[in-house]
Amino acid sequence: MRRKIVAGNWKMNKTPSEAVKLVEMLKPLVANEEVDVVFCVPAIDIIPVVEACKGSNIKVGAENMYYEESGAYTGEIAPAMLVDAGVEYVVLGHSERREYFGETDAMINKKVLKAIEHKITPILCCGETLEQREQGVTMDFIRQQVKIALQNVAAADAANVVIAYEPIWAIGTGKTATTEQAQEVCAEIRKCIAEVYDDATAAAIRIQYGGSVNAKTAPDLFAQADIDGGLVGGASLKEDFGAIVNYK
């Protein structure tokens, strides 16, 4: 049985002091030992959030990471820095990073490999635009994103990657994909993993849905056979996140 994983993606929200307040508010609400709970927070919030989460069930994630070890990359954050700060997960290839910061599939592949090397679990994002969905190329596009991002990743490592399917048209729009649409793509991703690797890897890998998940939509979404939790943006900054974690 795959363990559900519910991750909050805070995006560019919360100063360090606000972040600690939010953690204190959410901590009792997300105290559910049956689900993996992750707060993916802005880089500057990582250290105080790790401190605030000590002794709780909350794991801390970063929202991005660079693929080099160290050196002349002004403004970037190295994997070893994240590990040293107590980070266990990293969101990679979010559509906002792809769209606004020019991240390509090839760069995301390098980041995935580097995160694995440092034993940070990647939350690898993929998702189609509305135009692609209307053109009927969703599955081809998602398969391409996933295959390139996982190039040269060994099966044993791929099994521990978390994939987040986030249709771009559903992010921050209040337009959640229907449970059928979400399940259909997540099942296709699992099929793709079985083809690239094997059935055991496909059965082990966790696939989240993301895009306007809220306390109302989470129960149905997370009950789908191939949906193993969610990557939650807006609702992760509110009390709602507690209800999403306790979706059952």
Catalytic residues: 94, 166
Under a CB-based contact definition with an 8 Å cutoff, are residues 4 and 231 in contact? no
Closest approach, Cβ 210 to ligand PGA, in A, equals 4
Closest approach, Cβ 213 to ligand PGA, in A, equals 5
Does 234 sit near ligand PGA (CB under 6 A)?
A: yes
Q: Which is nearer to ligand PGA, 60 or 232 (CB)?
A: 232
DSSP H/E element including 130: helix 130-135
Nearest in space to 21 (alpha carbons), one of 49, 1, 43, 42: 49
Under a CB-based contact definition with an 8 Å cutoff, are residues 87 and 50 in contact? yes
Does 229 sit near ligand PGA (CB under 6 A)?
A: no
d(CA 124, CA 188): 16
Q: Which is nearer to ligand PGA, 112 or 232 (CB)?
A: 232
Does 127 sit near ligand PGA (CB under 6 A)?
A: no
- Mark the segment that binds ligand PGA (CB under 6 A) among 21-29, 62-70, 144-152, 231-239: 231-239
Q: Which residue has the tokens 């729009």?
A: 173
Q: Which is nearer to ligand PGA, 155 or 181 (CB)?
A: 181
DSSP H/E element including 6: strand 5-9
Amino acid at 164: A
Q: Which is nearer to ligand PGA, 138 or 212 (CB)?
A: 212
DSSP letters along 14-36, please?
--HHHHHHHHHHHGGGG--TTSE
Q: What is the DSSP letter of 171?
A: T
- Among 158, 161, 232, 245, the residue binding ligand PGA under the rule CB under 6 A is 232
**Which pairing describes strands 162-165 and 5-9: parallel, antiparallel, or unpaired?**
unpaired
Closest approach, Cβ 221 to ligand PGA, in A, equals 12
Backbone angles phi, psi at 71, to 5 degrees: 120, -160
Closest approach, Cβ 43 to ligand PGA, in A, equals 17
Does 9 sit near ligand PGA (CB under 6 A)?
A: yes
Residues 157-216 that bind ligand PGA (CB under 6 A): 166, 171-172, 210-213
Does 49 sit near ligand PGA (CB under 6 A)?
A: no
Q: Which positions lie near ligand PGA, rule CB under 6 A?
A: 9, 166, 171-172, 210-213, 231-235
